């Protein structure tokens, strides 16, 4: 009898131990996002506090916004990721494809800039930025050139074979620069004829190479091949930290607002915890940490820089935002595939 009791008790304890260890098992959230500076900044300075507070491991699935969107689309019915970061234009496509779950109201969401809250709160800007002009300070100094001030500087004959331009069919930076050129020529996002008609005979004549992403910028700048190219202040800061001779210039016509946005993925396997992560990413604490660690500019106005140098950069960024242009992404996405094909055939042929 006693043996039976002991056996039953041992079995019960074993079951409780297994159940307890299963209950205590650390959960994993998978986050799709750009690699490089953003992945490094978030994994080193932002995610750890959330991981510790919630006994969770965050694993980054790196890739461009297009890569992440493709992964999320392929796994729409059984998501492999919990949350994804995408450039704003691509996020609009993700929302349209039904890949995002509406963000829950939270004190953190209420704090962010209204402009950062996308379409029915299906996604939200975490990193606010803009595409403007970057230039090679060494080349400019060696040639006695003044800093650029306009998108039309890309068409200046002195930059022949010195313009590096991201492909508008593959990069938000290239698309932004093309659409600002189109606006200067009299078009808008519903009419890109002026841009396509005049690009080749103006900016196109100066382009040394069209690149699919900005990965080659550092190499081409150091080699003295690239004089001027579309880029963001954050990307410029990253290059400067690597001793690359670059600086950012705000075009007089305005830069283009570029938000790095986040959404919780619909049907993901940890909806409550993912919503909690999304709220944390909008907090002043998380965004202050990202600003300090990687010049990731905040959507929460309560975020602060901890150093005098950081405060100067944040003040400059806020000044740039005053003249930044918001594009019509509904119009863009309605015609994007057609534009991509046309760009590849007419511009990069």
Q: Helices (DSSP H) in the chain: which residue ranges?
A: 2-24, 37-41, 47-54, 65-74, 88-96, 107-111, 137-143, 172-184, 193-199, 217-222, 233-241, 271-281, 284-294, 308-321, 329-346
Residues contacting 37, CB < 8 A, separation 6+: 234, 235, 238, 294, 295, 296
333 and 203 both lie in a single domain: yes
* Residue 79 belongs to some domain of the structure: yes
* 77, pLDDT greater than 50: yes
Q: Mean pLDDT throughout 191-219?
A: 94
Q: What is the pLDDT of residue 24?
A: 60
Which of 7-11, 38-42, 66-70, 138-142 shows the lowest mean pLDDT across its residues? 7-11
219 and 287 both lie in a single domain: no
Q: Mean pLDDT throughout 126-151?
A: 97
Mean pLDDT of the residues in the chain: 91
CATH number for the domain spanning 247: value is 3.40.190.10
The predicted-structure confidence for 21-60, as pLDDT tens digits, reads as follows 445 689 999 999 998 889 999 999 999 999 999 999 999 9
266 and 342 both lie in a single domain: no
Range of the domain at 26: 9-129+259-318
78 and 157 both lie in a single domain: no
* 208, pLDDT greater than 70: yes
91 and 153 both lie in a single domain: no
* Residue 1 belongs to some domain of the structure: no
Q: Helices (DSSP H) in 128-171: which residue ranges?
A: 137-143
* Residue 2 belongs to some domain of the structure: no
CA distances in angstroms from 26 to 5, 127, 273, 275, listed in the order given: 34, 28, 12, 17
289 and 313 both lie in a single domain: yes
Q: Mean pLDDT throughout 10-16?
A: 46
Work out how many domains the chain is built from and give that number.
2
226 and 339 both lie in a single domain: yes
Tokens of 48: 């750890």
Q: Mean pLDDT throughout 86-114?
A: 94
State the pTM of this model.
Answer: 0.78
155 and 301 both lie in a single domain: no
């Amino acid at each position: 009898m006693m043996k039976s009791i002991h056996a039953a008790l041992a079995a019960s304890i074993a079951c409780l131990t297994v159940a307890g260890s299963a209950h205590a098992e650390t959960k994993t959230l998978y986050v799709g996002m750009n690699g490089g500076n953003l992945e490094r900044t978030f994994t080193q300075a932002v995610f750890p506090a959330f991981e510790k507070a919630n006994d969770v491991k965050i694993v980054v699935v790196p890739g461009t916004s297009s890569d992440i969107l493709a992964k999320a689309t392929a796994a729409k019915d059984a998501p492999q990721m919990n949350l994804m970061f995408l450039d704003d234009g691509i996020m609009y496509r993700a929302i349209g494809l039904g890949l995002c779950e509406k963000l829950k109201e939270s004190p953190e969401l209420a704090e962010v800039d209204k402009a950062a809250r996308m379409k029915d709160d299906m996604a939200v800007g975490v990193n606010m930025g803009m595409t403007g002009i970057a230039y090679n300070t060494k080349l400019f100094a060696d040639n006695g050139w003044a800093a650029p001030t306009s998108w039309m500087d890309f068409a200046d004959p002195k930059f022949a074979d010195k313009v590096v331009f991201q492909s508008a069919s593959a990069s938000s930076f290239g698309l932004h620069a093309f659409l600002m050129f189109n606006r200067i020529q009299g078009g808008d996002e519903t009419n890109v004829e002026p841009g396509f008609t005049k690009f080749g005979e103006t900016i196109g004549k100066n382009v040394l190479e069209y690149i699919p992403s900005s990965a080659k910028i550092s190499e081409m700048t150091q080699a003295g091949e690239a004089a001027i190219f579309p880029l963001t202040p954050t990307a410029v800061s990253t290059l400067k930290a690597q001793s690359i001779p670059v600086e950012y210039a705000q075009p007089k016509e305005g830069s283009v607002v570029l938000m790095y946005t986040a959404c919780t993925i619909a049907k993901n396997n940890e909806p409550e915890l993912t919503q909690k992560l999304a709220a944390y990413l909008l907090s002043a604490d998380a965004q202050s940490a990202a600003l300090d660690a990687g010049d990731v500019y905040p959507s929460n106005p309560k975020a602060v820089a901890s150093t005098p140098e950081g405060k100067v950069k944040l003040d400059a960024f806020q000044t740039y935002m005053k003249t930044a242009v918001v594009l019509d992404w509904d119009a863009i996405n309605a015609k994007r595939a057609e534009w991509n094909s046309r760009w590849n055939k007419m511009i990069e042929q």
